[in-house]
Amino acid sequence: MTSVCSVIFDLDGTLVDSAAAIQLALNHALSLHGLPVLPLDLVRGFIGRGVPHLMDCVGRQIGMDPSSAQFISVSNAFSARYARQQHGNLLFDGVIEALQDLQESNVALGLCTNKPMDAARTVLQHTGIDAFFSVVVAGDSLPTRKPDPEMLWAARDRMGPAPCLYVGDSEVDAEAAHAAGIPFLLYTRGYRKIAAEELAPWRIFDDFGALGGLVGCFVKEMPQA
């Protein structure tokens, strides 16, 4: 059966509050190398553009040359731990119910995250939402990451011809959606740094209980393919 629409989700800061898990993996790698650990609020601000950007921020923060052997060793230790980091990943309230509701309403669900695929799969399985997504495009799936639009186009094109909506939490998501020409729905409890209206979203929401209704509005507003 053809879907009524496709909804693509961002992961970190949108479906999953993952900052604590990322901080745990990072601090594990830093401690292993005798380096100072970093606080949660700081690490949260590094999330959204994938691992290379996160590690650039860490290098700047601790004053280490990113091309030094020690820093490369820290990055490798982080990535190994991150790929299997379960603890510290918490679904935002109402996510499971909202995904179930959309699935029952014949909405195709996809995921587009700057997280590497192995870390994304660990989180999806740990939080029990893996099976909802027919398509997962991750930070190492393509040569580019969000905010480049390619990841969103790749996800959308694999989900069929129905109108497509993208749900994300950050500046990076807004920029990617606008560049891709895909309507952007902003979840406001995530990790963005600027005011919601500056991201020019189609709509905003702060409660997953409202998502089904918003997707219903989207289907009514959009011309069907």
Ligand X SMILES: O=C(O)COP(=O)(O)O
- List residues binding Mg ion (CB under 5 A): 10, 12-13, 169-170
Q: Verify binding: residue 192, ligand X, rule CB under 6 A.
A: no
Least distance to Mg ion from the beta carbon of 123, Å? 12
> Can you tell me which of 4, 6, 10, 109 binds ligand X, judged by CB under 6 A?
10
Segment holding 111, helix H or strand E: strand 107-112
Least distance to ligand X from the beta carbon of 164, Å? 17
10 is catalytic: yes
Q: Verify binding: residue 48, ligand X, rule CB under 6 A.
A: yes
Residue 140 to residues 92, 105, 107, 222, Cα–Cα distance (Å) = 25, 31, 26, 31
SS3 186: strand
Of 6, 7, 5, 18, the C-alpha closest to 189 is: 18
User: Residue 201 binds which one of Mg ion, ligand X, none, with CB within 5 to 8 A depending on kind?
Assistant: none
Least distance to Mg ion from the beta carbon of 188, Å? 12
Q: How far apart are CA 9 and CA 186, in angstroms?
A: 10
> Can you tell me which of 7, 27, 92, 115 binds ligand X, judged by CB under 6 A?
115
Q: Verify binding: residue 114, ligand X, rule CB under 6 A.
A: yes
Active-site positions? 10
